[in-house]
Chain A
Amino acid sequence: MMMAKKWAKFLRDFENFKAACVPWENKIKAIESQFGSSVASYFLFLRWMYGVNMVMFILTFGLIMLPEYLWGLPYGSLPRKTVPRAEEASAANFGVLYDFNGLAQYSILFYGYYDNKRTIGWMNFRLPLSYFLVGIMCIGYSFLVVLKAMTKNIGDDGGGDDNAFNFSWKVFTSWDYLIGNPETADNKFNSITMNFKEAIIEERAAQVEENVHLIRFLRFLANFFVFLTLGGSGYLIFWAVKRSQEFAQQDPDTLGWWEKNEMNMVMSLLGMFCPTLFDLFAELEDYHPLIALKWLLGRIFALLLGNLYVFILALMDEINNKIEEEKLVKANITLWEANMIKAYNASLTGNTTGPPFFVHPADVPRGPCWETMVGQEFVRLTVSDVLTTYVTILIGDFLRACFVRFCNYCWCWDLEYGYPSYTEFDISGNVLALIFNQGMIWMGSFFAPSLPGINILRLHTSMYFQCWAVMCCNVPEARVFKASRSNNFYLGMLLLILFLSTMPVLYMIVSLPPSFDCGPFSGKNRMFEVIGETLEHDFPSWMAKILRQLSNPGLVIAVVLVMALTIYYLNSTAKGQKAANLDLKKKMKQLQLLVASNFHRYAGDPGVLLTLLLKSNDLCKVPENKHCGVAILFKP
């Protein structure tokens, strides 16, 4: 009994400690009280993403970057770790560093710097193995954490009848108790009233059928325009990537700022302007606002997804080019080596003892490194995305708010209530942007171990910056849509993006040969061979034999079948238990109704009521309902 009590106390203290560790609690509470819970849900999502990224950062930093920094060979010792002679002069320029070329490229930030030696340092730390496993672990951890969050939210879902209790929900659940600001409360009152009136009117006018054909034609037209926009944006990105490859061939000094950053700017600008276009097209459609919101979210999602995949396709093109180039460079290097040796032997004919054969690492001809290029592209994209977001907020929100506030005194119409007025906080746009940025991080972090670290910085500053911007320049929304089931909707999109962004990475790991002179897997045929190598060298031979037997195809197929059957069985058990649960809930409600309607009969006889109490408590002892109890409270 003592142990159980001590354990309960320990658990409670631990819960208290965990609650104290959570950052930004006060900020979010201030936002909740001024804007309501839907705007605050964006910041809660941001905070959760920060936690996920923190874990990824600790993994990549602690197990990849730190060992290489502490025990790996220093800069300048190997060709792959040195800036080539041709680029040395400009290697430390800010422009070059901002592009992540030069010194930034030949550092622990990117894949190409890492050496392929099996162990490094006095601890015999297996760097290539650690690199591979950390990459896989990051992906696995992300899946785990997103699925866990989704299953937690599924429990909160009532059942799925969306419109069964429309009016009752509007009356009973529409007030947001977190609101503490009188202005927001006023807004909320107005929106609730409008909501009521609209719902009443809709109910009355449900029978009136407008011109169906015109509506259908307009909707088809709107979808056609949307399709055009999506196609146009995809083509634009493809063209921009091709152009950026051409620019990469030219001398960087001849290019202006726009040419250098063209592709990232194009992607960011498309992401900013197309949603407004979609909004415009949605005017044609004349849907109910909630449905229109869902369509808008779906379209923006399709736009961002399409952009991402066109970007990847263009990247794959570039990778294939580099792999072709590698073969040529390999041939060149053997020629170059032969020449060097001939020249060295020629210089030795005079004296028998001469200086040892030495070539400075910066002078060795280099093979192209497609992994570093991929990493660089993603890092550049992330950085430009951050800048675009911040600049948009500064100009779109802050400057606009300043203009409206100060020019209102000397303007012909009321700027605050008419156009342009203050901006509202666009929750869905911001959440989608967050989700897609995270997708890019997942894609790029295998090739640039520094990416989770950069993202942590970004999320940290975003939190403070956006909190400030929201409190300072935004107003609470006039129409409040409780898209609270959207919690699972956004997590579902996150899961989809996670899946879609890890697929290209896994494809590249499994089917593309690593570059021959850069990175921890150089010299191997495929990246995952590092596992086989570890099994041979580091594990006893009987283990290797067992594992080889285990990879027998017959066994693998049998295991997959068993897993599929287990999943099916667990699924049907879960369904059965849910049904039994509902049944028991109904029984309890009936009992409750029965007693409550007859309570005056038991007023003088507590014993009967006690029996009834214990009988209904028995219902609660069923394993599915062990978390419920029944109590009677006496009033003397």
Chain B
Amino acid sequence: MGASGSRLSKELLAEYQDLTFLTKQEILLAHRRFCELLPQEHRSVEESLQIRVSLEQILSLPELKANPFKERICRVFSTSPTRDSLSFEDFLDLLSVFSDTATPDIKSHYAFRIFGNTTPSHMVFVLVLLGSWGSSLELILTLSFLASCDCSLDFDDDGTLNRDDLSQLVNCLTGEGEDTRLSASEMKQLIDNILEESDIDRDGTINLSEFQHVISRSPDFASSFKIVL
């Protein structure tokens, strides 16, 4: 699998397998693809774990190039203060959420963050339903691990999808050309229908739980929200 200098250590692999939904082969493949984006002199194992890759380079990956949400996806998973670069662990996070075995709950949570606007805000406490924990002991251990680590996990968006977010979303989906965009009246009707279907508390915006309520009923979501290297 390449030169011995480019292999991840077994402990690191085991740790990544514990923390993500990926299999060993997928993690090794991700590491190889990530290293290919780095310049030649920085391709050792230690450097590849510290260095950050700029957004433009990540967006050049063929799996992401054709995606209308590619920028939003990268910004959501980026943990740098300016949100314009990804480290290897961010990259693994991305692949883990988009993998086959990730639970629909995780996927819908991240889909919400990708569709919504990421605007910085102050201290935010977020409740996240995660799928694979069974005991409170494990829970507290993970909490202390997270509390002690310095980096990552920058969850700061404003928490809802309003009309602007929705119309931007629709524009992303209808492609770049001018003739494929919807007219203003069509857009208004579309958004009115969406809000009528999904907005349970009638506040004009869709928050996370309403979004998850809608998505959990869709049969297509889990199978289409997938990226495989």
Residues of A within 8 A of B (CB): 9, 12, 15-16, 19-20, 29, 32-33, 37, 156-159, 161, 164-169, 171-182, 184-186, 189-190, 192-193, 196-197, 200, 203-204, 482, 484-485, 588-589, 592-593, 595-596, 599, 602-603, 609, 614, 616-617, 621, 626-635
Contact = CB atoms under 8 A, between A and B. Distances in A.
Contact of A165 (B154, B175, B180, B214): B214
Contacts of B63: 33, 180
A189 B23 contact: no
B23 A16 contact: yes
A629 B194 contact: no
Given A485-B219, A603-B125, A632-B125, A181 B209 contact: no
Contact of B182 (A185, A197, A203): A197
B134 interface: yes
Given A172-B214, A172-B215, A192-B174, A629 B133 contact: yes
B180 A189 contact: yes
B139 A171 contact: no
Interface of B: 14, 17, 23-25, 62-63, 65-69, 98, 111, 115, 123-134, 136, 138-139, 142-143, 146-147, 153-156, 159, 166, 169-170, 173-175, 180, 182, 186, 189-190, 193-194, 197-198, 207-209, 211, 213-228
B115 A603 contact: no
Contacts of B143: 631-632
A168 B153 contact: no
21 contacts: A164-B197, A167-B190, A167-B194, A168-B194, A172-B111, A172-B221, A173-B225, A175-B67, A182-B66, A192-B173, A193-B180, A197-B182, A200-B186, A203-B193, A589-B209, A616-B127, A628-B130, A631-B139, A632-B127, A633-B125, A633-B128
Contacts of A635: 123-124, 153-156
Nearest to B189: A200
Contacts of B186: 196-197, 200
Contacts of A164: 197, 217
Contacts of A633: 125-126, 128, 146, 153, 155
Given A178-B227, A180-B62, A173 B175 contact: no
B190 A157 contact: no
Contacts of B132: 627, 629
A159 to B, nearest CB: 5
Contacts of A189: 68, 173-175, 180
Contacts of B189: 200, 203-204
A193 B182 contact: yes
Contacts of B134: 626-627, 629
B208 A596 contact: yes
